[in-house]
Amino acid sequence: MKSLPDSLDAKEDSLAQNELMTIKEVADFLRISTISAYSWVRDGKLPAIRIGKEWRVRSRDLDEWLEGRRISKHSNA
């Protein structure tokens, strides 16, 4: 059986992964303009969720999106 602190940690981790970020927060995080971030969302390049008139990006989706763009180093053998 899990102890209370462990279950709270798991819940906090889950909430952190599902945190909804505004487009401005995403743009600041990526160090790009807000206009570029909106353009990437509109063009389907960046995963986002529309809530009413506003766009939000789940932090988990942003992490996965970034991992998918990671360039691995290839050795020149």
pTM above 0.85, yes or no: no
> Is 7 part of any domain?
no
> Is 77 part of any domain?
no
> Is 60 part of any domain?
yes
Please, which pLDDT band fits residue 19 given cuts at 50, 70 and 90? very high
Domain of 29?
18-68
Distances (CA, A) of 29 to 21, 32, 37, 57, 63: 10, 8, 11, 12, 11
- Say what the pLDDT of residue 71 is: 85
Which residues are bridge partners to 55 per DSSP?
A: 50
> Looking at residue 24, which CATH number applies to its domain?
3.90.105
Cα angle: 31, vertex 36, 42; to 5 degrees: 135
